[in-house]
Amino acid sequence: MQIFLDSADVEAIRRAADTGLLDGVTTNPSHIAKSGKPFVEVVKEICSIVSGPVSVEAVAETAEGLVQQAEQIASLAPNIVVKIPMTVEGLKAVPVLEEQKKIRTNVTMIFSSTQCYLAMKAGASYVSIVLSRLDAVGNESDVLIGDAVQTKQNYGFLSRIIAGSVKTQNHVLSALRAGVDIATVPEALFFQMFRHPLTDEGLAAFDRDWKKVVR
């Protein structure tokens, strides 16, 4: 499973990329606005830090508008993937972008198995299931990501499944068990995955004992 950072904070992305374990980045308008920097500047800087896919969102309401926006966004860097909304107009735009324009798409804001199926059927390179929002309203996100993986296997779809907005290590475990392709995480969770109290305890004991070793 690949790990993407869900952020537009270039310093956070740089810290995660420095570990050598970051595979890509996903952004959204809220992340971009929080950065306080111009859109184009932020996107170009992120794309210069990571060589993997960087998902950037188009927000037009019509298929034609989404295609136009996607072309503008994709022109900023070669590793950009354009996020497309899970709507009728969005899925009309996907095959135009993927097949005619050769622009990779990431259909986002997916909350049901049938939405996921339609996004894969439309030919999206990526489909994003937003786990934290599902859990917030009492839906079982682990069931949905399991269904998504099963649907992909049943019908031979090529879309890569993203467990999006992963907030806890339990979410990470659910994604790993289901066999999803990618999990998107915030910086805090990314670095939390490196740590365990038993690791800290064991290393501290080794350090104490090393100081007693005759040298």
Residues with a catalytic annotation lie at 83
Cβ distance 45 to 17 under 8 Å? Answer: no
Contact 169, 192 (CB under 8 A): yes
Taking Cα atoms as reference points, which of 62, 163, 156 lies closest to residue 110? Answer: 163
User: Residue length, the chain?
Assistant: 215
Contact assessment for residue 95 and residue 122, using Cβ atoms and an 8 Å cutoff: yes
The DSSP secondary-structure symbol of 31 reads H
Counting other chains too, the contacts that 163-166 makes at CB distance below 8 Å and 24 or more residues apart are: 163/129, 163/131, 164/6, 164/26, 164/108, 164/128, 164/129, 164/130, 164/131, 165/6, 165/130, 165/131, 165/132, 165/133, 166/6, 166/131, 166/132
Instruction: State the residue for tokens 């339609």.
Output: 118
CB 84 within 8 A of CB 104: no
SS3 26: strand
Q: Which amino acid is at 120?
A: M
Does residue 84 contact residue 52 with C-beta atoms inside 8 Å?
no
